[in-house]
Amino acid sequence: MNTYNCISWIIYSSINGSILVMGIFLLRHILKNRLQGTWNYYMWFLLIIRLISPYGFTKSFNLIFVMKNLLKNTYTKSSQGLVKTYFKGNNSGIRFNDMTKDYALSINKKIAYFNMDVLFSLWLIGAIIFFMIFIYTNIKSRKKYSSANVVKDNKILDIFKFCKEKTKVKSHLKLIKDDKIYSPMIYGIFKAYLILPERELKGLEEKDIRNIMLHEMVHYKSKDILVNIITTFIQIVHWFNPIIWIGFAKMRKDREIACDTKVLSYLESWEHKEYGETIIKLLRNYNNTRIETSFSVGFLHNRAYLKERINNIVSFKNRSKKRILVGSMAIFLLANVFLCDGKEKFNYLKDNIGRIPKNYEYEHVGKYFNGYEGTFVLYDMKNDKYHIYNESLSKKRVSPLSTFKIGISLVGLEEGIIKDENMIIPWNKEIYPFEEWNKDQNLKTAMKYSVNWYYEAVSSRIGHRTMKKYVDKMKYGNKFVSNNITRFWNESSLKISPIEQISFLRDFYAYKLPFSKENLDRVKEVIKVSKNNRGQLSGKTGTANVNNKNINGWFIGYVEKDDNTYFFATNINAIDKASGSAAKHITLSILKEKGIY
């Protein structure tokens, strides 16, 4: 994962987490006192899941998906609007490409101009600072508690043994005391200590000591220290987001109420009042200035939270079917709304497919990419070998642009929307700046001149659900078909890498795609470009013209020779002049040098 992907994931995750925190607060306000203390605590585990999981879990509805636009460029004008502007005398929105007929209308976007590397560096500095604080405080605490006094009082040890049996804590737990703390606590994971405040023991009765130990053993048995460590590391990652910190602060407070609730289930009803009195006794001398560590959980939090804890004790009731139902429904609702964003909807951040084929060799063809950042991938079918220039970009997903018109053609034919390559779709009477577009079109002319309105019409008739079905079956790139059915392939949701383009072309050529042989042959025929004494060249260009600049260009296809077939995919990008025509020129130069075409 590069710095762009890393910081994008962190920001996206942080936004999702923030909205989930607000959702939890809102739901709790609506339910008020209908939830038992433990359920309020369990809700926060959804926040942990949300912040450590890169994806959602189903294709369910998701309110927070609308926030993705904070990380993505947003469209401000449609190409139709630009055409109307052009004929009113302003032609700044139109770019004419060269004689290859690689026509493209400009898409205006709001682009966020900031350096992701700088942003990543700032985040990393903050994360390192918080991590060092975490290490320092825990090392200091470890040294302190490892040398504390072991409890030798037989009465206290008997209570300790009783509480272990009551809570069924079987693992070794060392009982120690410290005269510098005011609140009992559990410290450590692998070597755990139950630490008692030595100065407070003198004023406590046996029942108070029992209540304290039960509370701490419930913490220990519930693995609350482990949860504390996990949340601390999440806070380090999201150190810049105060909403996440507020959420986890509330979670720690709710953890104490949840712990109180579990302790009450071990006690008789007449003992509940005594448990509340124990909390009040300890709070009289409680000093809240101690440094919290991730490896400890304590009996008290602060005085301000006393009222809520006492109210929970007074209103305690054993679990009822109604409370369990309400709590389960609340968590299910939160999970379905805030966690289920669908793995596919996160794929726009996932630029890389991760792996390059093992059967490849590096191509030294950088001289042809002068002025462009780009990649060239060639697959030799006879020798089953890839030739790749610029491995990192060869696996980077970008918009397929007009190269996806191959896919649209196949779906249109298969669904009967396009009867055959000669079927005419009438011109929509919109005036376009390209003469070839301002007339009726069939599949052959629409592919040759890359006629956008033709493919927009076909896509509209196909519909979102059907298109999504075929894109999934084709395993095309990130397989993300947005609701904008006429533009999802053009600088929008659908993304594909050059290596994936090769895989698509190989399946297309070998009749392995979910289309009839007849329809595959029809599309093969209309993408034929030229022929010479070396072989037959087939392919399709694509250009991303954004804010009047050609920023991305594709040329994909294959060369059929007598004894072999070579598949290729070239992608280039630049501030300007990175068109499909330029990508085609680069490709033909490389193919000529290699003696392929």
Residue numbers of the chain with a pLDDT score lower than 70? 1-5, 33-37, 54-101, 104-117, 144-148, 284-296, 298-305, 317-327, 336-355
Bridge partners for 540 per DSSP: 556
Best CA proximity match to 213, nearest among 250, 257, 266, 253? 266
User: Could you report the per-residue pLDDT of 459-473, keeping only the tens digit for each?
Assistant: 999 999 999 999 999
Q: What is the pLDDT of residue 106?
A: 58
Would you list the domain boundaries of the chain?
Answer: 3-68+116-338, 74-113, 360-593
Q: What is the pLDDT of residue 95?
A: 39
pTM of the model: 0.56
Question: Is 402 a residue of the active site?
Answer: yes
From residue 71, alpha-carbon distances to 14, 18, 19, 107, 487 in Å are: 12, 15, 15, 18, 19
- Say how far apart CA 227 and CA 223 lie, in whole Å: 7
Q: What is the pLDDT of residue 86?
A: 31
- Say how far apart CA 223 and CA 202 lie, in whole Å: 30
- Say how far apart CA 40 and CA 257 lie, in whole Å: 9
Per-residue exposure over 16-25, b if at least 16 CB sit within 10 Å of its own CB, e if not: bbbbbbebbe
Q: Report whether 272 contacts 327 (CB < 8 A).
A: no
Write phi, then psi, for 309 (nearest 5 degrees): -70, -45
Sign of CA dihedral 495, 499, 503, 504: positive
Q: Report whether 403 contacts 556 (CB < 8 A).
A: yes
What tokens were used for 595? 């003696």
Return the CA Rg of the chain.
32
- Say how far apart CA 383 and CA 388 lie, in whole Å: 15
For β-strands 193-197 and 296-298, DSSP reports them as unpaired
Taking the chain, what is the end-to-end CA distance rounded to the nearest angstrom? 36
- Domain 360-593 homologous superfamily, CATH: DD-peptidase/beta-lactamase superfamily (3.40.710.10)
- Token pair 């069939």 is at which residue? 442
Q: What is the pLDDT of residue 65?
A: 43
Tally Cβ neighbours within 10 Å of residue 485: 19
Q: What is the pLDDT of residue 62?
A: 46
What tokens were used for 519? 């329809």
What does the chain come to in residues? 597
The active-site residue, picked from 79, 106, 402, 450, is 402
139: buried, middle or exposed (CB in 10 Å: 19+, 13-18, 0-12)? exposed
| DSSP conformation class of 267 | S
Q: What is the pLDDT of residue 521?
A: 97
Best CA proximity match to 64, nearest among 7, 9, 15? 15
Specify the 3-state DSSP secondary structure of 156.
Answer: helix
